[in-house]
Amino acid sequence: EIVMTQSPATLSVSPGEGATLSCRASQSVSSNLAWYQQKPGQAPRLLIYGASIRATGIPARFSGSGSGTEFTLTISILQSEDFAVYYCQQYDNWPPLTFGGGTKVEIK
C-alpha cells in the first residue's frame, strides 16, 4: 500500500497571501496524483489531477506540481473561500487508492 503524507497538518495564512501545501508518497506514483478541497459540512471537490492539471472550473490561482514522490499544491493569492482542508490522493498503484491525512488552511 502506498502511504501518502501531507504537511503541514495546519497552515495559518492571511487572506491575500500565498500558500504551499506538500504531499509525499512512500513510493513513486509518477504523476498519478489528485488534489481535493473540502469545506466544513461539504463533500470534497476535485481541484487537480495528473499532478498539475486543473479540473474544470478551478481558478488559475490553484496550481499543482511534482512527480514521483514529492508534490505541491500552491494557492497563489488566498481568498476567503479557499480556507478549507486539502487532500492529496494517489491513483498509480491500487487497490487500495490512498489519501493523505489532509492539510487545513486556516485564517491567520
One DSSP character per residue, 2-17 reads --EEEE-SEEEE-TTS
Choices 15-23, 64-72, 74-82, 96-104; region in contact with other proteins by CB under 8 A: 96-104
3-state SS assignment for residue 57: coil
User: Quick check: 45 binds other proteins (CB under 8 A)?
Assistant: yes
Number of other CB atoms surrounding residue 32 within 10 Å: 18
**Hey, which residues between 62 and 91 contact other proteins (CB under 8 A)?**
87, 89, 91
Q: Do residues 93 and 2 make contact, with C-beta atoms less than 8 angstroms apart?
A: yes
Q: Which is nearer to other proteins, 16 or 81 (CB)?
A: 81
d(CA 87, CA 44): 9
Tell me the site size for other proteins, rule CB under 8 A.
22
Choices 11-19, 20-28, 72-80, 98-106; region in contact with other proteins by CB under 8 A: 98-106
Q: For binding to other proteins (CB under 8 A), which residues are involved?
A: 32, 34, 36, 42-46, 49, 55, 87, 89, 91, 94-102
